[in-house]
Structure 1
Amino acid sequence: MNAVTRAYDFGAPLARLADHVQPLLLLALRLYIAWVFIKAGLTKIEDWDSTLFLFTEEYKVPLLPPAIAALMGTAGEIVLPPLLAIGLAGRFAALGLFIVNIMAVVSYPALWEFECPAAVESHLWWGVGLLVIAVFGPGALSVDRLLGRRRD
């Protein structure tokens, strides 16, 4: 048995284990990111006057009037997370939240001024997670799979 065969034999069980764990990891990723965004959306609808103030004074969403930006951003944070969580139109939900996430980073200049880089890093990690779901799909533990929309 040569070195390549031995390396493959060692890696094969790990690959099989990863295949079994992947659906659970994708589910956990979907639930975590959905939780983050739905909390943000619920906070916005809890005090709409404050939300409009923030979109008027703090957030600088390009090309959109503040009230429209507030409505679209909040709608995305309320409608898309449940879809992502259950994996219904999972890729669409992930791409939609990716756009909401990018707009948050672009439109809130103070985010880059914080002494603690965790705020920006959180947005970057959420973006990466959303891209993973958009590219690979929501996984085996999703309504999309149940409905047979996409075989991953």
Structure 2
Amino acid sequence: MRLVRWLERVPYALLAIPLRIAVATVFWNSAMTKLANWEAALALFRDEYRLPLLPPELAAYMAVSIELSTPVLLILGLATRPVAFLLLGMTSVIEIFVYPQAWPTHIQWAAMLLVLLCRGAGSGSVDHWLRKRWIG
């Protein structure tokens, strides 16, 4: 029982840091893979991903833009909730339209993103600093 009480006192800010880093790493690595061979990335969007309503080139540029910008914001803890919401949407698109068989991986991403969406970045973040500075 003492161990449970001790674990329950771990500050959320300490738990949020590895969540932010883990999610950031997933999407950053995906961007780096695309940028390492842009022609292959475009071919994937044209031939394999085939997202509805979006031309493959636009989808590829959108994906890599999101995958480059959101990890930086997550590491800083800046706009964490909107970023988590955006990445949940991207994860949903990947799950529904691209790789539905990869749901065990996607549910892990979604779980981490849901925690960040609901609880924010924690006190070790720019979000927290801005909130204290501007809201009081």
The amino acid of 2:125's aligned partner reads: S
- Which whole-Å CA distance do the structure 1 matches of 2:57 and 2:89 have between them? 18
Aligned: 1:52 with 2:42: yes
Larger radius of gyration: 1
Aligned: 1:83 with 2:66: no
Number of residues paired by the alignment? 133
Structure 1 length as normaliser, TM-score? 0.78
Identity %: 35
For residues 1-150 of structure 1, the aligned pairs below 5 Å read: 14=5, 17-109=7-99, 111-112=100-101, 119-148=102-131
- Which whole-Å CA distance do the structure 2 matches of 1:60 and 1:135 have between them? 32
- Which whole-Å CA distance do the structure 1 matches of 2:8 and 2:71 have between them? 26
Give the deviation of 1:96 after TM superposition: 1.3
Structure 2 length as normaliser, TM-score? 0.87
**Which of the pair has the greater relative contact order for Cα pairs under 8 Å at 6+ separation?**
2
- Which whole-Å CA distance do the structure 2 matches of 1:72 and 1:99 have between them? 13
More helix by share: 2
Moved over 6 A (4+): none
- Which whole-Å CA distance do the structure 2 matches of 1:100 and 1:121 have between them? 16
Runs of 5+ consecutive residues of structure 1 not aligned to the other structure: 1-9, 113-118
